Amino acid sequence: KNQVEQSPQSLIILEGKNCTLQCNYTVSPFSNLRWYKQDTGRGPVSLTIMTFSENTKSNGRYTATLDADTKQSSLHITASQLSDSASYICVVSATGAGSYQLTFGKGTKLSVIP
Amino acid sequence: ETGVTQTPRHLVMGMTNKKSLKCEQHLGHNAMYWYKQSAKKPLELMFVYSLEERVENNSVPSRFSPECPNSSHLFLHLHTLQPEDSALYLCASSQRLQGAVGELFFGEGSRLTVL
């Protein structure tokens, strides 16, 4: 069964600090891995999409890494800001039959405090 | 107007009511999706419309019925819902490329409360 596990479930950090969120997946055959940011009560917004051949991708202060061998990804946030407070969702896409189906993690809820 | 627009943003309805959620995308995409997001659960795919093909999650109750009159508009018709159907309903669109889901663009969601 395809699964995406994210850790931690929630995280509180001080403004200006860095943090790393983790995503482990068991999705096969792998197509790509995506990170989304979702503000409370809003729709998710795409941060990065990585294919099998990409092991690092940045979007401003957000840097995602992918290790396709160990089936792990991380999202690193540098110099956090109050506006980074949100849920971060890891999503893995498979190829082949049922390829409409994306496997979503439950998300990590990040709170950045002053 | 750009992106994916959902209306209404908030909806409260009784179990005997009939209502509809509306979604419109201005991105020229060829696939549209309905997702359900419940507290502390992953997003759940409900329906997909892509290139005149409809795909549905078999676990979705028949009290939810989608309609896609064209590639830019998507509706979710609701009737005789249950309190456990209260959730955030998200519409999304993407390009459908060689059997894969392109980058998803989500609307702001419709927060549904069933009394």
Which residues of chain B does A89 touch, with a Cβ-Cβ cutoff of 8 Å?
43
Which pLDDT score, from 0 to 100, does residue A97 have? 57
- Smallest CA-to-CA distance from A93 within A13, A39, A47, A25 is with A25
pLDDT at B34 over 70: yes
Mean pLDDT of A4-21: 97
- pLDDT tens for residues B47-76? 999 877 888 888 999 999 999 999 999 999
- pLDDT tens for residues A59-104? 999 999 999 999 999 999 999 999 999 999 999 988 775 566 789 9
Residues 54-113 of B with CB under 8 A from A: 55, 88, 90, 92, 99-101, 103-109, 111
- Length of chain B equals 115
Structure tokens at B25: 């995308």
Per the rule left: phi > 0, alpha: psi between -120 and 50, beta: everything else, A60 is left
Structure tokens at A38: 């979702």
Confidence label for A57 from pLDDT (cuts 50, 70 and 90): very high
